[in-house]
Amino acid sequence: MENLYKHTIEIQPRFNDFDVMGHVNNTVFMNYFDIGKVSYFKAIWDTDLVDWQEFGLVIARIETDFIAPILISDRVVVRTTILRIGNKSLELSQQIINPDTNQLKAAARTIMVGFDVSTNSAEPITEKCVEAITRYEGRPFKREISK
Amino acid sequence: MENLYKHTIEIQPRFNDFDVMGHVNNTVFMNYFDIGKVSYFKAIWDTDLVDWQEFGLVIARIETDFIAPILISDRVVVRTTILRIGNKSLELSQQIINPDTNQLKAAARTIMVGFDVSTNSAEPITEKCVEAITRYEGRPFKREISK
Amino acid sequence: MENLYKHTIEIQPRFNDFDVMGHVNNTVFMNYFDIGKVSYFKAIWDTDLVDWQEFGLVIARIETDFIAPILISDRVVVRTTILRIGNKSLELSQQIINPDTNQLKAAARTIMVGFDVSTNSAEPITEKCVEAITRYEGRPFKREISK
Amino acid sequence: MENLYKHTIEIQPRFNDFDVMGHVNNTVFMNYFDIGKVSYFKAIWDTDLVDWQEFGLVIARIETDFIAPILISDRVVVRTTILRIGNKSLELSQQIINPDTNQLKAAARTIMVGFDVSTNSAEPITEKCVEAITRYEGRPFKREISK
């Protein structure tokens, strides 16, 4: 499963990511996954600057499993890949792990949908987007109707 | 469905909740749901101060559906209820809505599990917790084996 | 000194405002002062929506004194007023206090300067802005050359 | 002036550090300076884990000058040094710059005071702390009475 993830980024923690129990707050896990997503799409588009207005994808759903607390002593990385590309949506899979121990901290499944900001309406995933993902991941994506 | 939610709290937005598109950032929705959760448990325990060490519940899973963007012009509230209490887990249901238009912005389903911080191990939901929820919600909860 | 402040807003705390010591993190005080500033300028412009592009003011300097920690048991409000209006800058004074005990938690002095976003250059404080502040504060402001 | 700063850390930006104008929000500058401070004290104590309860320093005052906006296209680093050690306080100097252009984004001067968490009272800066700073900075600090 591990080698599914071509993309990994280490997180730089901030002091107030940690709550009174000395754990990274649940809400902050979302920031960590977000850092992974932004970095992933930069890698795919091969650009330092993703133009989110042109980007054509918005987040529709996130499912997150919290497996273990992140402590102040933990180094953590986020791994990101795309599992499936449908007609109007794609499915992103992410993990937060401690790379020193390989302990899984949290996992997230994110559904992103094609969206045209200028017309404010749902759109199919663009071919350009599918090509960029396919090139980066180095494996074919059979387009299917997403749920 | 609406009258399921006895508990509602209005969110005080912060200027940097909003991203470059003028929308509340996806990660910040988690903070809003969190404000709802803390306020809900304060109401249930009838206390201004929830002792999280004694609290005996941790978040295991959150599923979030992002329905509509929250704009700077939106007022938003979070509604929270508990749908189901199992043996070792309970299920929380939350919505973010604009109370002026009743527009649903996002919905979340959260699984919390019984946990003893002192022994660092999973525990059944305490009877005290079930009673507090039952009293607040004013409806019976049939205990069942949680998934 | 207290009656200097016509504008007061209570802060809605968020669970991860608090750090491992159970205190509101120093960086989060800035968010609290920011909530005060946004609310103050809404009151002055008598609008729910401040158009920050048109607003014509940017923050040049903030001096903050941290007097006492904010604990989870504290209610806090932010008080805001404008002390001085110069030619190209104005000086905002703010306090964070616990309104139940009147304990001063922190004080901030903020220098804002006139700025035209469209030309990206410093500008005098607009007369419209001076009038709005004077009307709200109910006391005259002698315009002077700001430092 | 530049070589005053032995300690530099690059900041990993987060998507919602940026506000509707596409600039890092003023409040987030504090997080950036905070990352610099934590990293600096880790370097001084030569430890991955600063025990803040034992640490013996709290922030009394921060003065921040906002010089230029941080854009999404900017890389930024925080530089940190200690300028002065008094009897009961020390003075930290920090800059946020774009290392590619050397553009200064913001500067901060922070006063930290000796503090014993167990007795909740002000304390002189410990000799151990002075030694650690002197060793790291590689220059002598004449102890003087702080203001």
ipTM for this model: 0.91
Contact criterion met (CB below 8 Å) for D114 and D122? yes
pLDDT at A147: 45
The answer to whether B28 faces chain D, any CB pair under 8 Å, is: yes
d(CA A58, CA B26): 10
Q: Is the pTM of this model over 0.90?
A: yes
Task: Judge whether D122 lies within some domain.
Answer: yes
pLDDT tens digits, residue range D93-137?
A: 999 999 999 999 999 999 999 988 778 888 899 888 888 899 999
Q: Which residue of A has its CA nearest to B113?
A: A66
pLDDT at C146: 46
**The total number of structural domains that make up chain C:** 1
Nearest one of C6, C17, C3, C10 to C99, comparing CA atoms: C10
The answer to whether A91 faces chain B, any CB pair under 8 Å, is: no
Task: Judge whether B143 lies within some domain.
Answer: no
pLDDT at A116: 81
Nearest one of C120, C60, C66, C67 to C89, comparing CA atoms: C60
Percent share of chain C, pLDDT over 90: 65
The answer to whether D27 faces chain B, any CB pair under 8 Å, is: yes
Percent share of chain B, pLDDT over 70: 89
Provide the number of CB pairs (under 8 Å) joining chain A to chain C: 31
Per the structure block, which two tokens stand in for D24?
Answer: 């890092």
Virtual CA dihedral for B125, B127, B132, B134, nearest 10 degrees? 90
With CB atoms and an 8 Å threshold, state whether C22 touches A20.
Answer: yes
Give 10-residue mean pLDDT values along chain A (147 residues). Answer: 84 93 94 96 78 76 97 96 94 98 98 86 87 91 62
d(CA C106, CA C18): 16
pLDDT tens digits, residue range D33-51?
A: 999 999 999 999 877 666 6
The answer to whether C16 faces chain A, any CB pair under 8 Å, is: yes
Q: Which residue of A has its CA nearest to D11?
A: A12
d(CA A41, CA A34): 11
pLDDT tens digits, residue range A17-57?
A: 999 889 999 999 999 999 999 999 999 987 766 666 566 88
Packing angle, helices C127-137 and C26-45, rounded to 10: 100
Choose between D52 and B84: higher pLDDT: B84
- Can you say how many angstroms the Cα of residue B122 is from the centroid of all Cα atoms in its chain? 20
With CB atoms and an 8 Å threshold, state whether B63 touches A58.
Answer: no
B45-72: average pLDDT: 83
- Residue tagged 């295991």 (tokens): B60
pLDDT band at B121 (very low <50, low <70, confident <90, very high): confident
pLDDT at C120: 79
C73-85: average pLDDT: 96
- Sort out which chain C residues have CB atoms less than 8 A from A72's CB and list them: 20
- Sort out which chain D residues have CB atoms less than 8 A from C56's CB and list them: none
The answer to whether D99 faces chain B, any CB pair under 8 Å, is: no
Supply the CATH number for residue D12's domain: 3.10.129.10
pLDDT at C51: 63
The answer to whether D35 faces chain A, any CB pair under 8 Å, is: yes
Touching C (3+ Cβ pairs <8 A), the chains are: A, B, D
- Average confidence score pLDDT of chain C: 89
Task: Judge whether B147 lies within some domain.
Answer: no
Q: Calculate how close chain A gets to C19, using CA atoms only, in Å.
A: 5
With CB atoms and an 8 Å threshold, state whether D30 touches C34.
Answer: no
pLDDT at D53: 59
What is the DSSP pairing of strand B57-66 with strand B103-116? Answer: antiparallel
pLDDT at C147: 45
pLDDT band at C14 (very low <50, low <70, confident <90, very high): very high
pLDDT tens digits, residue range C45-70?
A: 877 666 665 668 899 999 999 999 99
With CB atoms and an 8 Å threshold, state whether B60 touches A65.
Answer: yes
Strand, coil or helix: what is C116?
strand
With CB atoms and an 8 Å threshold, state whether A66 touches B60.
Answer: yes
Q: How far is the CA of B60 from the CAs of A67, B41, B113, B131, in angstroms?
A: 7, 17, 6, 22
Q: Which residue of D has its CA nearest to B22?
A: D20
Task: Judge whether C28 lies within some domain.
Answer: yes
Contact criterion met (CB below 8 Å) for A82 and A138? no
pLDDT band at D56 (very low <50, low <70, confident <90, very high): confident
With CB atoms and an 8 Å threshold, state whether B48 touches C73.
Answer: yes
- Sort out which chain D residues have CB atoms less than 8 A from B21's CB and list them: 20
Task: Judge whether A147 lies within some domain.
Answer: no
Task: Judge whether A146 lies within some domain.
Answer: no
Q: Which residue of B has its CA nearest to A68?
A: B60
What is the DSSP pairing of strand C57-66 with strand C77-85? Answer: unpaired
B88-98: average pLDDT: 96
D57-78: average pLDDT: 96
- Sort out which chain B residues have CB atoms less than 8 A from D16's CB and list them: 16-17, 19, 25, 27-28
Choose between C21 and D74: higher pLDDT: D74
**Residue A103, phi then psi, degrees to nearest 5:** -65, 130
- Average confidence score pLDDT of chain D: 89
- Sort out which chain B residues have CB atoms less than 8 A from D15's CB and list them: 19, 25, 27
With CB atoms and an 8 Å threshold, state whether A31 touches D38.
Answer: no
Comparing CB atoms, the residue among A16, A27, A72 nearest residue C25 is: A16
Structural domain span for residue C97: 2-137
pLDDT tens digits, residue range B48-60?
A: 666 665 668 899 9
D59-68: average pLDDT: 97
Task: Judge whether C143 lies within some domain.
Answer: no
Contact criterion met (CB below 8 Å) for A103 and A109? no
